[in-house]
Amino acid sequence: GENVEQHPSTLSVQEGDSAVIKCTYSDSASNYFPWYKQELGKRPQLIIDIRSNVGEKKDQRIAVTLNKTAKHFSLHITETQPEDSAVYFCAASISPALIFGKGTTLSVSS
């Protein structure tokens, strides 16, 4: 079945720096790749997603890139702020489920 690997597991950056989180997936049938942000004790919140007919998508400080040939996708956060601190999960769809990575704990220090 589908397997999603996510790296790094923890990431510490200074406020204003960029953060990059990378994921790889195994099933070439996956065609939808959302990213969720989860604060402690809260629900996962969708922050950006990309579909397989697109290579890159940007929304203000957040961007996602997808390389279907290599089966990997990445989240880029620019100009990080302390409120970006949270656990970030990538996921790949394999009908009907989302298969999640194990998460990256991002800490942004001011």
Judged by CB, which is closer to other proteins: 16, or 46? 46
How many angstroms separate the CA atoms of 10 and 31, rounded? 27
- Asked if residues 25 and 72 have their Cβ atoms less than 8 Å apart, the reply is yes
For the bound state, the minimum distance from the C-beta of residue 79 to other proteins, rounded and expressed in Å, comes to 26
What is the CB neighbour count within 10 angstroms for residue 41?
5
For residue 62, the SS3 value is strand
Task: Assess 86 for contact with other proteins (CB under 8 A).
Answer: no
- String of contacts with other proteins for each residue 30-49, x by CB under 8 A: -xx-x-x-----xxxxx--x
Footprint of other proteins (CB under 8 A): 4, 6, 31-32, 34, 36, 42-46, 49, 51, 89, 93-103
